[in-house]
């Protein structure tokens, strides 16, 4: 619950307001209510097909909260969602978190797939998914604030194929 002030502060950042407006909170009390609800889901066995399972992303060196990552029901499957505070974006932190949680989901949780759904205009988030081994499978249109938003749907099933290293013919 001590993270609620930071969660509220991050919810006011421009990127979060633009790409994930349903995670923008009115005040610290509102953020604390959301944190409390999300924590309640993590107190039971994870089943993101039924309820969200959201985790904090902490800075490796300082242990401070720098974002979140979670799995939640979507499209008859499970969607991965993530955000890293703006000042730390572009350093591969989201890719590292998405890769780890996707591997956990298809490995330990034995989910058949994990989806990533992003606005077509959100190039940084598309790159995160692609670097984490997700492949684009679909496109749809969602209406937000009375305007259509094209979204791209990515999927990750199991581990990505191994990279082939150059070598000599056998």
Rounded-to-integer distance, Cα 3 and Cα 154, Å:
30
At the fourth CATH level, the homologous superfamily of domain 4-156 is: Gcn5-related N-acetyltransferase (GNAT) (3.40.630.30)
Please report the beta strands in the chain, taking only residues with DSSP state E, as ranges in sequence order.
53-58, 65-74, 77-84, 114-119, 135-144, 147-156
Query: pLDDT class for 42, splitting at 50, 70, 90?
Result: confident
- Phi first, then psi, for residue 92 (nearest 5°) are 85, 5
How much of the chain exceeds pLDDT 90, in percent? 56
- The number of CA neighbours under 13 Å toward the Cβ of 20 is 21
pTM, to two decimals: 0.83
Taking 60 as the threshold, does the pLDDT of residue 45 lie above it? yes
Query: pLDDT class for 143, splitting at 50, 70, 90?
Result: confident
pLDDT at 9: 87
Query: pLDDT class for 40, splitting at 50, 70, 90?
Result: confident
Please report the beta strands in 85-145, taking only residues with DSSP state E, as ranges in sequence order.
114-119, 135-144
pLDDT at 132: 96
pLDDT digit string, tens, across residues 61-119: 999 999 999 999 999 999 999 999 999 999 999 999 999 999 999 999 999 999 999 99
Whether the CB-CB separation of 79 and 115 falls below 8 Å is answered with: yes
């Amino acid at each position: 619950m001590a993270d609620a002030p930071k969660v509220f502060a991050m919810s006011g950042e421009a990127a979060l307001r633009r790409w994930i407006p349903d995670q923008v909170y009115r005040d610290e009390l509102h953020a604390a209510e959301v944190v409390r609800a999300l924590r309640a889901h993590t107190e039971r066995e994870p089943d993101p097909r039924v309820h969200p399972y959201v985790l904090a992303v902490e800075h490796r060196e300082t242990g401070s909260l720098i974002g979140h990552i979670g799995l939640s029901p979507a499209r008859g499957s499970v969607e991965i969602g993530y955000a890293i505070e703006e000042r730390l974006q572009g350093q591969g932190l989201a890719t590292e978190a998405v890769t780890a949680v996707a591997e956990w989901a298809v490995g330990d949780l034995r989910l058949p797939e994990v989806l990533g759904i992003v606005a077509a205009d959100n190039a940084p988030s598309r790159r995160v998914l692609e670097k984490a081994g997700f492949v684009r499978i679909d496109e749809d249109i969602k209406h937000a604030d009375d305007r259509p938003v094209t979204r791209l749907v990515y999927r990750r099933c199991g581990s990505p194929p191994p990279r082939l290293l150059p070598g000599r013919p056998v």
